[in-house]
C-alpha cells in the first residue's frame, strides 16, 4: 500500500483508496480475537497515516469498539490525511451467512458521518453497507447511505471485499448502479483483488457517474492503480463495460486462487496425478498456467485396470503442456498391500476396499513427492463427485488445495472445451471418452452415478438454490432419483469435512460457506 | 419425547420439559436454511401438541419469523397444552462465537411474555438468555428475565443446549444460582444430553430453590426424567451437589462422544491402530468402554523401527481389554513403496518422506479394514501434536472421529493414570516410557518437540486463553521457544483443516469453534 501511495502521489492524486480490511486481509477470521493482531493492523494504519501528506488515504481496517457492551471490534474504513487519522466510519450491515461471519467479531455502526476534504464532502461506506438500498434487503433494517444523505455528500467511496462467484460482477454492477441512481452521486467502488485460501476476490473496481452509468470498470483479478478526475466522472459519458464470459471468469478466478494459495504460503511447485481423465487434465492445465510449466510436475500411476489410452492421453497432455512427468506403475505396491491383508480378508471378494487401496497408493505416492521435493499436491475432485461422495478419502480426495471442487462435471467439460477453443491443448480423447475411475475392469462412472447432466442439475438445485426435495421433484426429476442423490449428498458430509479447501467460484461452494451436520439424519 | 410425555403423564406430572431445539437437534447448522427441514420441526411440535392433554409440554424448536425484515427464523421455546401451542417465547441472546453461529440463522426476540398454566405464571427462556444477569455480560445489552419480571412470574424454566467442557458444569451452576438469587424464583434448568459429532452435551439439568440453593442436580451424560413438587422446590432444603472430577468428566464426556457419533451414524464397530504408545492405548480403552469390547478391533502394525516392547505392550493392552487384535508387519509394503520411488528419489537420503510413508501405510491398512468390514477408524492424535502439526496427514491423522484431539499430552497421561487408578488396565510400561513415533531408529518426541509440560502450557495460553505472544513470554517462557511454538501452531492450520471432527472437552477445541486462516501470515 505504501508503494501505491507513493505512485499515486507522483501521479498527482488527491485521494487513494484501498479495500475493506486491507491492513489485515479478508477474512481474518479468529486472528481478530488477538489484541496483538489488532495492534499490528493499528500500526499499519499509523504507518499509512504518516505517509498521508499531500494525499488522503481511504483504507479498511479493524478498529476497537470503545464501548464495553457489544462485540470488541468494528469493521471500519479510515480516512487518513495530513499525517493522521481524520475520520473513521464503521460498517453497519455485517454479513453473517455463507462464508461470512462478521457478527462473530464486529459491532455494527450506530452513527454515520461524512468527512470533508479539499472542499468535497465524502460519504464513506464498507461493502455490504451499499447492499440495502431502499431497505429492500430483508436481512437488514438500516440503510447507512440514507443516514448520511442529510449531510449532503458530494461523492461516495465504498471499500469492499466482495467475493467472486462467476455471476457476482454482474450483480455487483446492478447494485452499484441502483445506488448512484438513487443518490445521484458519483461512486468510487473499490474491491479487493486476490485470493485468500478458498475465497477469491475478483477486483473489478467500479467508477460510476451520477446518471447511473459505469464510467469505468477496472480489470478483474488484478491489482490496479488508476487516476480519475472527479469532474469528469460527474460529467459522465465515458461508458465502459467488460465482456463477462462465464468460462473465462471461472478460468481466471481459478488461476488467481491457485497462484495466491501458493504465493501466500511461500510455495512455488505443484504436483498432481494425471489419470488420463478429464478432471486431472483440467487441473494440470490450470496449474501450469497459474504457476508456470516448470513449476508443475505430474505423475502417471497406472494400475492393471488402467486402459492403454489413459497413459497415452495423459502423456500427450503432459507433453502439450511441457510439464515434467513420471510414470510409476502401482501394481507391485498394490499386490504388497493385498498380500499383507490376505490373512485378514480371507474369502472376501474384490470390492470397495481393493478399489480404494489403489486410489490411496496414488495419494501416498504424491504425498511422498510432496514431502521429498516440497511440491503441494493439487486435489482434482470435481463438485459433482464431492457432492455424492464418489471419491476415496486420503486417496484421490487428498491434496493441499481443491482446484475444481466447486466446478460441476458438466462445467469441467465446458471449461476444457473453452481451453481448447483455439487449439487442442487437452487431447480430444480425454474430453470425449466416457468418464471412469478405472479401479476395476471396465468400470464407468455411469455404473454408479446418474448421468452428470441430471446429477449436476439436481445437486445444483439442492446446494446453490437450497430447494426442498419436493420442489426439485416438482421440477420433473424422478422422485426416487432425487431422494437417492440428496441422501448421498447428506451422508457424505464426513468425507467433505476432511478435504482440502475448495476454490469458490459459485454462490455456494463446499467449505466454510456451507456448514452441515455430519451425524444429522435429515434426508439421510 | 412422546415416550417421555407418556411416562410423565403416568407419574402425574403437570409439566414436562425438553431441551433447546430438541425437535431438530443442536446445532442443526445449515439444515435450518431448508423450509422442508423447518416443516419437519413444526410437524414434531404438532405431534407433541396433540399429546399435550392433561399435561403441558415445554420444548425448544425453531419457529418462522413472520416479519420480512431480519433473519428468517427464531430459536424458540414452545409451551404446549390442551392439544395446542399456547405460547412461544423466542430467544434473545444469540451466541455467535466459538462453536456458536446463532445469528447466522436466528432473529432475536424483542417481546417477552410469561405464560400462565394451572394458576402458575411461568417465565420461559432459552439457554444464553439467563447468561446476561444484571447486564454484566459485555456481549449483550438486554436481559430477558428483567423484561419478564414486571409480569410477576412464579417460576422460571430455561431450556438449554449448553455444550460440555470439563469445567462448564461448575460455571453453569454459579450462573444459575446467581439468577435465582436475583429473581428469588425457583428455576428448572433443562440441559441437552448426548453428543452431536464434535459437540458434547453433558445434561446435568438443575432444579434451584429461590434461596439460591441447588435443590437437585440431575445425572451427567444421561437422559433422565424426574418429577419435582413445585412447593417442595420453593421451600428448598434438599441440597445436592455431585462431585466434579476433571478426569472423570473428560472420561465420561469422551465415552458419550464416541457412543453418539457411532449411534447417530448407525455404525457399531470401531478400529484403530495400536502402536504401543500412550495415545492409541487411551483411545482403545475409551472405545472399548463406549462401544463394548466386542465392537472394537485393533491392529498392531510394527515396522523395522518399532521397538520390541511396543508390540508386546500393545498386545498386552489388547488382551487386558479383551478386544480382537491382528498384527500386520508393514516392512514388505514399505519396501514396495521405496522401490517404486527409488528411480525418482535417487540419491536423496532417508527423511520425512520415508517416515510419513510408514504412517500412511498404517492409515491405509486401517481404512482397508474399514471398507471391508464397516468399522469406523478412530483417530488417536492428541491436542499437543495436532497443535504443532506433529503428525502425518492421511497417516496417523486419518480416521472418522478424533477422540482425544482436545486432550493435551499431559492430560493423556493424567487420564491413563485415572483409568489405572484401581487396576492396571493400560500396561504401566506404556505410561512410563518416553513418547516416540518410532518412524526412524531411536526416535523420541523430545528430539523434535519441547517437553510436553512446557509445550502444553504455551499452547494452552495461546489457544484456550487467546493470550498474545508477548504476554506468554512475560509469563516466563523462553521468547524464542514461544515464537517457535506459536509459529508451528499457525502454519499447521492446513493439516487440522483436513482432520476428523474433534470431540470437544475444553473451552477451545480444534474444529468448528476455532476458525483460522490457512494462508494467513500472522506469527507464521
How much is the average pLDDT of B224-253? 93
CA distance A507 to A415: 18
Percentage, residues of chain A above pLDDT 90:
93
Residue of A nearest to B340 (CA): A328
Quick check: is A91 catalytic?
A: yes
How many Å separate Cα A524 from the centre of its chain?
Answer: 29
Here the ipTM equals 0.96
Average pLDDT score over residue span B300-327:
95
Distances (CA, A) of B124 to A471, B36, B61, B226, B411: 36, 27, 13, 19, 39
At B125, list the grid cell: 427462556
User: A357 pLDDT exceeds 90?
Assistant: yes
Cα-based distances in Å from B475 to A3, B480, B484: 39, 14, 16
List the single residue in A339, A351, A519 with the smallest CB-CB distance to B261: A519
* All cell numbers assigned to B436: 516416540
What is the side-by-side order of every strand in the sheet holding A84-90? Answer: A15-17, A56-64, A73-81, A84-90
Q: Is B222 helix (H, G, I), strand (E, B) or coil?
A: coil
Q: What angle do CA B332, B335, B337 make, to 5 degrees?
A: 115
Mean pLDDT, chain A, rounded, equals 96
pLDDT score of B238: 73
Query: Any catalytic annotation for residue A174?
Result: no
- Cα distance between residue A500 and residue A381, in whole Å: 10
Among A362, A218, A240, residue whose Cα is nearest residue A301: A362
The tens digit of pLDDT for each residue in B54-74 reads: 999 999 999 999 999 999 999
User: Choosing among A93, A260, A515, which should be mutated to test the B contact, i.e. which has the most B CBs within 10 A?
Assistant: A515
Q: What pLDDT does A442 receive?
A: 87
Residues with Cβ within 8 Å of residue A239, at least 6 apart in sequence: A213, A214, A215
Catalytic positions of B: 20, 91, 127
Q: Helix or strand or coil: residue B356?
A: helix
Residue B514 has pLDDT above 90, yes or no: yes
pLDDT grade, residue B349 (50/70/90)? confident
Quote the pLDDT of residue A349: 87
CA distance A458 to A452: 10
CA B121 distance to own-chain centroid: 35
pLDDT-derived band at B348 (thresholds 50, 70, 90) equals: confident
pTM (predicted TM-score): 0.97
Kindly report, residue by residue over B18-34, the tens digit of the pLDDT: 999 999 999 999 999 99
Inter-chain contacts counted by CB atoms under 8 A, chains A and B: 225
Query: How far is residue A249 from each of residues A190, A257, A503, B350, B397, measured CA to CA in Å?
Result: 19, 12, 13, 44, 36
Average predicted confidence (pLDDT) for chain B: 96
Q: Which residue among B104, B345, B364 places its CB closest to the CB of A96? A: B104
| B213-217 CB contacts, 8 Å cutoff, 24+ apart | B213/B177, B213/B237, B213/B239, B214/B173, B214/B177, B214/B239, B214/B240, B214/B241, B215/B186, B215/B239, B215/B240, B216/B240, B217/B173, B217/B241, B217/B242
Question: What average pLDDT score do residues A98-113 get?
Answer: 97
Q: How far apart are CA A307 and CA A333, in angstroms?
A: 19
pLDDT at A469: 97
**A60 three-state secondary structure:** strand
Q: Chain A: residue nearest B328 by CA?
A: A340
What does the DSSP 8-state code read for residue B518? S
Are B65 and B107 contacting, i.e. CB atoms less than 8 angstroms apart? Answer: yes
- Comparing CA positions, the residue from B73, B170, B166 lying closest to residue B126 is B73
The pLDDT score that the predictor gives to residue A347 is 73
pLDDT(A237) > 90: no
Span A43-96, pLDDT tens digits: 999 999 999 999 999 999 999 999 999 999 999 999 999 999 999 999 999 999
Q: What is the DSSP string of A184-240?
A: ---EEEEE-EEEETTEEEEB--EEE-TTS-EEEEPPBTS-------HHHHHH-----
Contacts of B196 in chain A (CB under 8 A): 517, 519-520
Chain B residues touching A357 at Cβ < 8 A: 364, 368
Over the stretch A180-209, which tens digit does the pLDDT of each residue have?
999 999 999 999 999 999 999 999 999 999
Give me the residue label for grid cell 480519475: A228
pLDDT of residue A348: 78
Strands B120-126 and A84-90: unpaired
Angle at A268 between CA A264 and CA A272, to 5 degrees: 110
In this prediction, residues A128-155 reach a mean pLDDT of 94
Asked whether the predicted pLDDT for residue B240 surpasses 80, the reply is no
Smallest CA–CA distance from B490 into chain A, residue: A31
List the single range of A4-13, A119-128, A236-245, A289-298 with lowest mean pLDDT.
Answer: A236-245
Top residue of A301, A303, A394, A395 to mutate, by most chain B CBs within 10 Å, is A394
pLDDT, average across residues A365-379: 97
Residue A314 has pLDDT above 80, yes or no: yes
- The predicted-structure confidence for B366-420, as pLDDT tens digits, reads as follows 999 999 999 999 999 999 999 999 999 999 999 999 999 999 999 999 999 999 9
Distance between alpha carbon B261 and the CA centroid of its chain, in Å?
11
Amino acid at each position: 500500500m505504501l508503494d501505491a501511495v507513493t505512485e499515486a502521489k507522483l501521479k498527482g492524486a488527491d485521494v487513494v483508496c484501498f479495500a475493506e480490511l486491507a491492513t489485515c486481509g479478508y477474512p481474518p477470521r479468529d486472528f481478530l480475537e488477538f489484541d496483538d493482531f489488532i495492534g499490528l493492523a493499528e500500526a499499519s494504519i499509523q504507518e499509512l497515516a504518516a505517509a498521508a501528506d499531500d494525499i488522503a488515504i481511504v483504507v479498511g481496517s479493524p478498529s476497537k469498539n470503545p464501548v464495553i457492551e457489544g462485540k470488541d471490534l468494528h469493521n471500519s474504513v479510515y480516512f487518513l490525511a495530513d499525517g493522521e487519522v481524520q475520520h473513521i466510519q464503521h460498517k453497519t450491515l455485517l454479513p453473517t451467512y455463507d462464508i461470512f461471519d462478521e457478527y462473530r467479531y464486529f459491532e455494527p455502526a450506530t452513527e454515520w458521518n461524512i468527512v470533508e476534504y479539499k472542499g468535497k464532502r465524502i460519504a464513506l461506506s464498507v461493502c455490504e453497507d451499499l447492499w440495502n438500498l431502499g431497505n429492500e434487503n430483508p436481512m437488514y433494517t438500516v440503510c447507512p447511505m440514507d443516514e448520511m444523505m442529510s449531510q449532503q455528500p458530494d461523492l461516495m467511496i465504498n471499500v469492499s471485499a466482495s467475493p467472486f462467484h462467476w455471476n457476482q460482477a454482474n450483480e455487483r454492477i446492478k447494485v452499484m448502479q441502483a445506488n448512484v441512481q438513487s443518490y445521484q452521486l458519483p461512486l468510487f467502488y473499490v474491491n479487493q483483488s486476490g485470493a485468500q485460501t478458498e475465497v477469491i476476490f475478483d477486483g473489478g473496481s467500479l467508477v460510476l457517474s451520477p446518471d447511473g452509468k459505469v464510467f469505468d470498470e477496472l480489470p478483474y483479478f488484478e491489482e490496479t492503480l488508476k487516476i480519475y478526475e472527479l469532474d469528469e466522472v460527474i460529467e459522465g459519458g465515458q461508458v465502459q463495460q467488460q465482456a463477462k464470459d462465464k468460462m473465462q471468469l471461472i478460468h481466471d478466478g481459478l488461476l488467481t486462487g491457485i497462484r495466491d494459495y501458493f504465493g501466500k504460503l511461500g510455495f512455488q511447485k505443484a504436483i498432481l496425478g494425471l489419470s488420463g481423465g478429464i478432471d486431472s487434465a483440467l487441473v494440470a492445465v490450470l496449474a501450469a498456467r497459474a504457476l508456470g510449466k516448470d513449476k508443475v510436475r505430474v505423475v502417471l500411476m497406472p494400475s492393471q485396470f488402467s486402459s492403454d489410452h489413459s497413459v497415452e492421453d495423459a502423456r500427450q497432455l503432459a507433453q502439450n503442456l511441457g510439464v515434467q512427468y513420471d510414470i510409476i506403475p502401482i501394481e507391485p505396491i498394490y499386490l504388497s498391500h493385498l498380500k499383507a491383508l490376505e490373512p485378514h480378508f480371507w474369502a472376501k471378494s474384490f470390492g470397495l476396499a481393493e478399489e480404494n487401496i489403489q486410489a490411496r497408493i496414488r495419494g501416498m505416492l504424491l504425498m511422498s513427492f510432496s514431502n521429498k521435493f516440497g511440491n503441494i499436491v493439487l486435489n482434482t475432485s470435481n463438485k459433482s463427485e464431492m457432492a455424492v461422495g464418489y471419491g476415496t478419502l486420503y486417496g484421490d480426495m487428498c491434496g493441499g488445495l481443491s482446484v475444481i471442487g466447486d466446478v460441476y462435471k458438466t462445467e469441467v467439460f465446458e471449461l476444457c472445451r473453452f481451453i481448447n477453443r483455439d487449439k487442442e491443448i487437452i487431447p480430444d480423447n480425454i474430453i470425449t471418452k466416457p468418464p471412469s475411475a478405472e479401479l476395476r475392469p471396465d468400470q464407468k462412472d455411469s455404473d454408479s452415478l446418474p448421468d452428470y447432466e441430471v446429477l449436476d442439475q439436481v445437486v445444483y438445485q439442492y446446494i446453490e438454490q437450497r430447494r426442498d426435495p419436493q420442489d426439485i421433484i416438482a421440477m420433473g426429476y424422478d422422485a426416487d432419483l432425487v431422494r437417492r442423490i440428496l441422501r448421498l449428498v447428506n451422508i457424505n458430509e464426513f468425507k467433505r469435512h476432511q478435504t482440502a479447501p475448495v476454490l469458490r467460484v459459485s454462490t455456494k461452494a463446499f467449505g466454510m460457506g456451507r456448514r452441515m451436520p455430519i451425524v444429522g439424519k435429515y434426508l439421510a
